[in-house]
Amino acid sequence: MLFRYGQLILLSLIFVSLIGCSRTPSDDPRLLMSLEQTPSAMGVQTIVLVINDGSTPLDNAKVQLEATMTHAGMPSQIVQMQALGAGKYQASIDFSMLGEWVLIVNVTEANGAVMQRTLPAFNIQ
């Protein structure tokens, strides 16, 4: 009987430790990112992203933008953003469905450093 309770406790501990774990890296706080305008309507829209490294605009980086919905089942769109200078990057995304969308930004800096940031979700209405 003691053995059975021991197994239960062990299983519970494993489960609780799983809840506490996270395999996903936290966002790099060094880079500051913001959208010039948050998209809100359906259809193809131009996204302009402003990236700053501290207070300095981040130029000469490769920026990849992934647009996906917050629910499962809709294929993502992944596009390479075009640099406009002064830390601004631009790309077009087709918001093909109403609902919550989220943008994931992958930045590869000139020195090879790679980082990812998930921007706050927004509604397409």
Partner 1 sequence: MQQIPAIDLLKLPGLRWLGRWRYARFALQLPLFALAMLMVWDGLTGAQLAPKNSATVIVWVHYRGFLMLALLVVGNLFCMACPFMLPRNLARRIIKPRFKWPTWLRNKWLAAGLLVLFFFAYERFDLWASPWWTAMLIVSYFAAALLIDSSFQGAPFCKYVCPLGQFNMLSSTLSPIEVAVRQPQRCQTCATKDCIVGRDDDQPGCELWLFQPKKVGNLDCTLCLDCIHACPHDNIGLLARVPGQELISLQPRSGIGKIEERSDFSLLMLVFTWGALLNAFGMISPVYSFYNWLTAQFAITSETFLLSVVFILALVIEPVVLLGGAAWLFRRISGHNERLIAIINRFMKGFLPIGIAMWTAHYAFHFIIGFWTILPVLRSLLAEAGINFSWMPVTGLSPLVPQAMIYPFQMGMILLGSVLSAVITWQTTTTITKQRQRWAWLPWALVIVAMAGSAMWLLSQPMDMRGILEG
Task: Give residues in contact with partner 1 (CB under 8 A).
Answer: 4, 15, 18-19, 21-24, 66, 68-78, 97-100, 102, 104, 118, 121-123, 125
Is the Cβ–Cβ distance between 94 and 40 less than 8 Å?
no
Please report how close the Cβ of residue 118 comes to partner 1 at its closest, in angstroms. Answer: 7
The least distance separating partner 1 from the CB of residue 54, rounded to whole angstroms, comes to 27
C-beta of 86 vs 121, nearer to partner 1: 121
29 Rama sector, left if φ>0, alpha if ψ -120 to 50, beta otherwise: alpha
Burial class (CB in 10 A: 0-12, 13-18, 19+), 91: buried
Nearer to partner 1, 54 or 75 (CB): 75
